[in-house]
A and B are shown apart, each in its own frame.
Chain A
Amino acid sequence: MSSIFMQAFVRPLSIIYPMAKRWLHRFHGGVFPKTYKSLSLKHPIRSTVIPEKLILPVKQLTGQKIAWHVAIGDTVQKNQCLISAAKENKKGIIVPIHAPTSGVIHAIEMMSLPHPSGLSALSIIIKPDLKDTALNNVLNVSGKVPETPQQLKDILLNAGIVGLGGAGFPTFAKLPNQTGIINTLIINGAECEPFITCDNLLMQTQAQDILNGAIMVAQTLGIPSIICGIEENKPTAIQAMNAAAATLLKNTPNLSITIQTLPAVYPMGGEKQLIKELTGIEVPAKTHAIDSGLLVFNVATFAAIFKAITLGEPLTQRLVTIAGLGLKHSYNTNALIGTPFLTLAKAGEPIHPIQTPLIMGGPMMGFQVADNQVPVIKTTNCILVQPPEPATETIVMPCIRCGECMDACPVNLLPQQMFWHSQAHEFEKVEKLNVFDCIECGCCSYVCPSHIPLVQFYRHAKSEIKHIHAEQQAAELAKQRHEFRLARIEREKQEREARIKAKKAAVKKQASEAEKPSGASSAKSAAIKAAAARAAAKRATQQGSEQNVNEISPPPLSARQKAIETAKKQAAAKVGSKVAPNKDPRTSAKQAAKKAAAMAAAKRRTQTNHENNSDATSKIDSKQAMNDKRKQAMETAKKRAAERKARKAEQEPPK
């Protein structure tokens, strides 16, 4: 092809113009750092060392519950499941953790994480018993290729497989639910970071496993073609993969497998860069490779998938490069997940005692860990041990707008513009310059003649922008809630007023009714008449007795007799009141009115309560519905307010 001609042309040219090498690959920019790969490539893969303790951090996310299958003091076997996502989680992004070796759960406590923040997380600490007794086929697989994508996803979830290239996104969540969506499966064998050789060695030693894993995924998801991209500086790996592909292709005639040699440029291993290089497709911003019909996994991920499907073996160890200029013997090893960094680093015989922080990842994208005892996690591909830095600090010079970073950016961004705006805290402008498409590869910082830590600025800007968005959302929510509250208070006030009004109206009505005697109250009036007659008779007898007293003057009544008399009178009065309870028609009317008003109010209350209840139930349905309800309520409240205003305006004509 023309590439041979191009290479012949570029090679001599690159001596006087090094960046001519950028013409050999299809994506924009890129840099050519010294690789140092031979340091760790010289030695064969070292056998697994079981450390004194294994630290397994448990990823915790708000709103995601974890099901614990072990407690402190339990004895666990290799491959035993320690935690998994609780069943009540709607979408599980928590992948299970399995015991990397047999031993005792020593503690479950907060331990420092291999994360740039240096934060701690709850971790399971296992004291290995060094017997390494294992449970076989813990995933209960048949060893056959899964029939549906869902079956494959279940296996990958239960095996705890995440993207081993570096991002660590759960692999099962990346897979589509239907067959036929993906047309190309890409095996990412481009290991572009300096020092790192673990993928290279994996391809050399387990090429069959990698390709078998890829074929299984392709068969399950109905993918017709597999492309594996490997950089030209890994000739042994290319050879091994080609040999494996040749033997495997005989068994799968309807599948095409291509092993493609790529130019060695950093960051070839970036997902979108590799896609562009292999297929010419530029995955649009804010979309994923899957939206373009592509699925990309790292070689290590495919090897893990193969082991999970055929052996039912969960992900408990991975190939890690321990390299750096600070080591006498850089090497690769199959490290158990949870092995402390320092244990692995010491095995490489450091030239100087390790006092500076170790680096997880390569020199371009890696970060310093806060504590050298942090464990190897599933995404740890390299532990970099660099010699102590010279005391003279590299002085950051001002940006001279040379544009080198812009030429180097593999995503076609404008790093110098983003830098200016980040420095000035104009995060809106940084966002407009698509800072979220930045893959933080570090090419811009690498080429910067002023040694400006550009990527640090973009990382900071990204977190700030996220924070600003979260605050805006919170403000919007607070506004809605405040307005809803105001509307509710207004509504309650109106309801109270309406209740009082209704009460008053009811009282008036009752009073007017009581004044007119009606057929129904004839019995009452008869009773009143009878009571009146009785009272008159009593008065008459009293008068008579008084007269008698005056006339005959009987002997004075004893105190006892007097008491009897008064008791009798009281009883009579009681009976009278029972017969004619409504001595005062006005009070009875008042009582009746009160009752009626209370009834009406109660009815209204139950009605509103009912409405509220129905509101509440529908709220539970979904947040969207709740928002709609809220909006509706707001709307009605607004309308009501508008009506009220209009009424007021009518009542009080402007002067």
Chain B
Amino acid sequence: MEEWFISITAAILIFVGLAIVFGLLLGYAAVRFKVEGNPMAEQIDKILPQTQCGQCTFPGCKPYAEALAKGETEVNLCIPGGTDTMILISEITGLEPKEVEVTEAEHKPKETAFIDEDVCIGCVLCIKACPVDAILGATKLMHTVIQSECTGCDKCAPVCPVDCIDMRAPPVSLENWQWPEPTIKSEGEAK
């Protein structure tokens, strides 16, 4: 009678003790190794093209990444990123890949904004619209785009009241010229 009682209490005590120890360990780990923010959002943010164009209907790349991490939105909204980015996003989030709606923008060379400085009236509307502060200028003074900072998001062109902003691809120079991809005519295709 007593032996049985002792063995049962011993077993219970051991398990309760273990539960307490592991509970404390887990509790400590939760505090000590707490991850700030959502790591998935940062991962997605890294692969987004950072044009901050807002074509995804979110105010920038990061908000879209955060929404994606929470699973609140679709994977196919990043138009500048194209299909490649969509596939990467779906790989990270585990969401179903979907067709990117506008595909004509894909593989288009990066364009940057140019301000026709003779037409510009200095209204500062484009400066306010630029997500990366790439436009220089002041009220009633000519504006210009810092080409190296422009992401080509096309946010400034629609707000211009005199329509003096257009998007241009950079001219091909010796510095940005690329070797063309060789085209292979295999025997089957040749026939």
| Cβ–Cβ < 8 Å partners of B62 in chain A | 479, 482-483
Task: Contact check, A61 vs B175: say whether CB atoms are below 8 A apart.
Answer: yes
Per DSSP, chain B at the interface is loop
Tell me, in angstroms, the Cα distance from A467 to B182 when the chains sit together: 17
| B: contact size bracket | 20 to 34
Chain A residues touching B, majority SS: helix
Mark out the residues of chain B between 167 and 182 whose CB falls within 8 Å of any chain A CB in the assembled complex.
Answer: 172-182
When each residue 479-501 of chain A gets 1 if its CB lies under 8 Å from chain B and 0 otherwise, what string results? 10111111000000000000000
When distances are taken between beta carbons in the complex, the residues of chain A under 8 Å from B132 are: 478, 481-482, 485
Q: Would A479 and B50 be within 8 Å (CB), given that A61-B175, A116-B179, A463-B178 are in contact?
A: yes
Contact, CB under 8 Å: A396 / B131: no
- Find the A residue at minimum CB distance from B48: A475
Given contacts A115-B174, A478-B50, contact A396 B179 (CB under 8 A): no
Instruction: Judge whether B149 is part of the interface by a CB distance below 8 angstroms.
Output: yes
Q: How far is the CA of A396 from the CA of B173 in the complex (A)?
A: 31
Shortest B172–chain A CB gap in Å is 7
- In the assembled complex, how far is the CB of residue A479 from the closest CB belonging to chain B, in whole angstroms? 4
Known contacts A119-B172, A478-B50, A481-B134; is-contact A397 B178 (Cβ 8 Å): no
| A485-B133 contact in complex given A460-B181, A460-B182, A478-B50, C-beta closer than 8 Å | yes
> B36 — nearest CB in chain A belongs to which residue?
A642
Measured CA separation A645–B175 after assembly (Å): 47
Given A397-B187, A482-B60: A467 in contact with B179 (beta carbons within 8 A): no
Smallest CB separation, A337 vs chain B (Å): 18
Interface of chain B residues 5 through 51 with chain A (CB within 8 A)? 45, 48-51
> Which B residue sits closest to A484, measured CB to CB?
B133
Q: How far is the CA of A7 from the CA of B48 in the complex (A)?
A: 59
Please state if B50 and A482 are interface contacts (CB–CB under 8 Å): yes
User: What's the Cα separation between A457 and B51 when bound, in Å?
Assistant: 30
Asked if residues B182 and A482 are in contact (CB atoms below 8 Å), the reply is no
Whole-angstrom CA separation of A464 from B181 in the bound complex: 10
**Interchain CB contact under 8 A, B181 and A452:** no
The contact of B151 among A117, A457, A464, A478, by CB within 8 Å, is A478
Kindly provide the distance from the CB of A379 to the nearest chain B CB, expressed in whole angstroms. Answer: 14
Q: Given A474-B151, A478-B50, A485-B133, decide whether A460 and B180 contact each other with a Cβ distance below 8 A.
A: yes
Q: Answer whether residue A476 sits at the interface, using C-beta atoms and an 8 A cutoff.
A: yes
User: Which of B48, B50, B149, B174 is close to A119, meaning CB atoms less than 8 Å apart?
Assistant: B174
B interface list, Cβ under 8 A from A: 45, 48-52, 60-62, 110, 131-134, 149, 151, 172-182, 184-187, 190
Contact residues of A with B, CB < 8 Å?
A: 61-62, 113, 115-117, 119, 121, 393, 395-398, 452-453, 456-457, 459-460, 462-464, 467, 471, 474-479, 481-486
Closest 10 CB pairs of A and B: A463-B178, A475-B50, A459-B179, A456-B182, A481-B132, A478-B50, A117-B177, A479-B50, A478-B151, A460-B181
* 15 A-B interface contacts by CB (under 8 A): A62-B173, A115-B174, A117-B172, A119-B174, A396-B184, A396-B185, A457-B181, A460-B182, A462-B179, A463-B178, A463-B179, A475-B51, A475-B151, A477-B149, A485-B133
Contacts A478-B51, A478-B149 supplied; 12 other A-B pairs, CB < 8 Å: A119-B173, A396-B186, A452-B184, A460-B178, A463-B179, A464-B178, A467-B178, A471-B110, A478-B52, A482-B52, A484-B133, A485-B132
